[in-house]
Amino acid sequence: MTKPLVDAQFMKPAILILFLFISHAAFSQSKLNFPLKKQMDSVMTLDQKYREALTLLMEPSEKDSVAKSLSLSIANAMNYYWKLQNHLDSTNIIFVEQVFKKYGYPGKTLVGEPTNVSAWNVIQHSSKIDQYLPIIKKAADHKELPYHLYAMMLDRQLSDHGKEQIYGSQAVCRPIKNGENIGCYIWPIKDPAGVNERRKKAGFDLTVEQNATRMDINYKVIKINEVK
């Protein structure tokens, strides 16, 4: 005998809530593009493939052992890994641009989390931030991507163009205008007094001072006329 369909009006409240929750979860998952998610996960793997080694080569306590493992000098090891990573980056950007054309930004709704940050990483590591920053902002505005990642990319764009950044996420390691070498420092910030409030609203977990410490930088306010 065929069982009748479940009629929600006869369900007990707790069972009804559970039924609706499971139905919503199943519906949400059904919207994910799993083949694309798998491809974007692979993109993320390639984006990070040699960056860990490159980071270690900039760590005083690690760089010698990393270079020694390749039987290369530190400079040659850096060149070796950058050559490999640049090749992967060039293939990644081609693929991500095709995804943008077909789907728009592959965000949380399309590929889930944390896969939704994959395309952001590719653009952040490319020379095409100017071109794709609007699509990144749109994704962040629609909560398809964490807003603080858009903020980081905006900072990168501004600092690349020699302008004051907004959220204090970008650091540089080069002499200031008077020739003094002060090591690495946080790139000049517009309205530095209000930067931590802006960071909080954008979703950053750390203050600008804490973030600088994380990067082994002693935070101090640098003005734009000191670097230009």
Is position 15 within any domain? no
Work out the average pLDDT over 117-133.
98
One domain for residues 106 and 159: no
Give the pLDDT of residue 12.
54
Q: Tell me which DSSP letter residue 165 carries.
A: B
Q: What is the pLDDT of residue 178?
A: 82
Can you tell me the mean pLDDT for 94-109?
Answer: 98
Which tokens belong to 206?
A: 């750390």
Cβ-contact 186, 212 below 8 angstroms? yes
What pLDDT does 163 receive?
97
Question: Closest Cα to residue 57, out of 33, 73, 43, 41?
Answer: 73
Give residue 52's Cα distance to chain centre. 15
Residue 85's domain comprises 33-134
**57 within some domain:** yes
Tell me, yes or no, whether 117 and 156 share the same domain. no
Domain boundary among 98, 113, 134: 134
Domain count, the chain: 2
Domain final residue, candidates 103, 134, 165: 134
pTM for the whole structure: 0.82
How much is the average pLDDT of 154-162?
A: 97
